[in-house]
Amino acid sequence: MAGIAPLRARAVRVINILRALYPSAGRGETAGSDTRRPFQVMVATIISQRNRDEVTEKVSDALLRKADTPDKILKLGRAGIAKTIRSANFYKTKARHILEAARMVRDEFGGRMPRTREELMELPGVGGKTADIIMLVSHGAAVVPVDTHVQVVSQRLGWTTERDPEKIRADLHRLFEPKVRGYVNILLVEFGKEICRMHLPRCYACPVEKLCQYPNKTKPPARKAPR
C-alpha cells in the first residue's frame, strides 16, 4: 500500500468524524460488551449472513431462546433449527452449519469455543468475517471484520484497492492501530446503511465527502417544480 502515512492520516480523520456522528458505535460498544457468549455470537453471525439486521435479531433470538449451547442445539436437531430460523435466507444451509459447528465444538474442542481465528475458521459456516466478529464481540480482539459495508466503503474512501476480504482486512489492519480497530467495522456499517449506501451513496449528504476518493459522487435529487 503506497503512501501509507498520508493515507493513514486521512483514514483516522474519517474515523474521528464518524465517531462523532455515531457516538455509541464510536465508543466501541460492540467490542467485548455483548452479553452473548462466543457460541451464541457464532450462531447469530451465521444467521446474519445475507440477511437484514432486523431479521437476524429476530431469528437468532428465537433460536437462542430454545437452544443457546452446543448440547441444546444438538438436541434440537437440524429440523428443529431449520423450523425456528425459517424466515432467514438460506435457512436450510444455515441450520446444517449451526448443527455441524455445535457437534464439532462438542467433539473436537471439548465443548468450548476455540479462541484463535484459525481454529474458529475450521467450524462449518465460519469464514474470516464470522471468526473476526466472534473475536471482536466476545473477546475484544483488535480486528476489523470485513463485511459488505466495510468492503464497499473502504474501497470508495480509497483505503484499499483490493476485492478479496482477507486482503482488505490486511490493508485496514495496516492503516489502523489496534486500539482503533475495535470500532472500525461498526462505524462503517452504520455509515454504509445511512449515507454511503451500497447501490446509491448519498455523497451530497456525506460528512467525509472531501476525504473520499470515490469518482462517481452523486448529486442531490432534483426537486420537482411546483405545479
Note whether 43 and 26 are same-domain residues.
no
Last residue of a domain, one of 101, 123, 139: 139
Q: Is residue 220 part of a domain?
A: no
Note whether 91 and 124 are same-domain residues.
yes
- pLDDT tens digits along 166-207: 999 999 999 999 999 999 999 999 999 999 999 999 999 999
Q: Is residue 227 part of a domain?
A: no
Average pLDDT over residues 1-24: 90
Instruction: Name the pLDDT band for 35 (thresholds 50, 70, 90).
Output: low
Q: Is residue 221 part of a domain?
A: no
Note whether 106 and 150 are same-domain residues.
no
Burial of 110 per CB tally in 10 Å (0-12, 13-18, 19+): exposed
Last residue of a domain, one of 120, 139, 158: 139
Q: Is residue 217 part of a domain?
A: no
Is 28 a residue whose pLDDT tops 90? no
Instruction: Name the pLDDT band for 24 (thresholds 50, 70, 90).
Output: confident
Q: What CATH number should be reported for the domain holding residue 24? A: 1.10.1670.10
For residue 61, what pLDDT is reported?
95
- Spatial separation of the C-alpha atoms in residues 11 and 108, rounded to whole Å: 41
C-alpha distances in Å from residue 164, one per residue of 33, 131, 135, 171, 182 = 29, 16, 20, 11, 21
Note whether 42 and 135 are same-domain residues.
yes
Q: Is residue 65 part of a domain?
A: yes
For residue 33, what pLDDT is reported?
42
Amino acid at position 135, single letter: M
Q: Which residues of 162-171 are buried (b: 16+ CB within 10 A; e: fewer)?
A: beebeebbbb
- pLDDT tens digits along 87-133: 999 999 999 999 999 999 999 999 999 999 999 999 999 999 999 99
Note whether 160 and 103 are same-domain residues.
no
Note whether 101 and 117 are same-domain residues.
yes
Note whether 114 and 86 are same-domain residues.
yes
Say how many domains are in the chain.
2
Domain boundaries, position 63: 38-139
Is 221 a residue whose pLDDT tops 90? no
Q: Are the C-beta atoms of residues 185 and 193 closer than 8 Å to each other?
A: no
Note whether 150 and 133 are same-domain residues.
no
What's the per-residue H, E or C state across 42-92? HHHHHHHCCCCHHHHHHHHHHHHHHCCCHHHHHHHHHHHHHHHCCCCCCHH
Note whether 149 and 185 are same-domain residues.
yes
Is 30 a residue whose pLDDT tops 90? no
Q: Is residue 84 part of a domain?
A: yes
Instruction: Name the pLDDT band for 223 (thresholds 50, 70, 90).
Output: confident
Last residue of a domain, one of 122, 139, 156: 139
DSSP tag of 203 = G
Q: Is residue 24 part of a domain?
A: yes
Tally Cβ neighbours within 10 Å of residue 22: 18
Q: Is residue 225 part of a domain?
A: no
Note whether 125 and 159 are same-domain residues.
no
